[in-house]
Amino acid sequence: MEAGKGMKMDKKAYTEKEKLVLVSLVKEYGACIENKKTDGTSIQEKQNAWEKIASYYNAQPDINIHRTSKQLKKLWDNLKQR
């Protein structure tokens, strides 16, 4: 699986620092993103919250790899399952 090598964005493993940054950001938006409602408004609010989380995450000085809101949401789901 050499295809992803050299790309700045996708399959690089998260460092512990990156995980801690994500956890701290999720704490701020936890009520919104952990909301069990699935109506259109709630889904839009969750998406907006993940976009804000991604924006703050990527703005951190010690974050070297840009991650999308989708990537961060997947990481969060994985962390919750552990």
Q: Quote the mean pLDDT of the chain.
A: 88
Which pLDDT value is given to residue 1?
Answer: 40
Helix (H) or strand (E) holding 81: helix 69-81
Cα separation of 5 and 37, whole Å? 39
pLDDT above 80: residue 59: yes
pTM for this entry: 0.82
Mean pLDDT in residue range 28-35: 94
Mean pLDDT in residue range 15-44: 95
Mean pLDDT in residue range 35-45: 95
Higher pLDDT, 4 or 51: 51
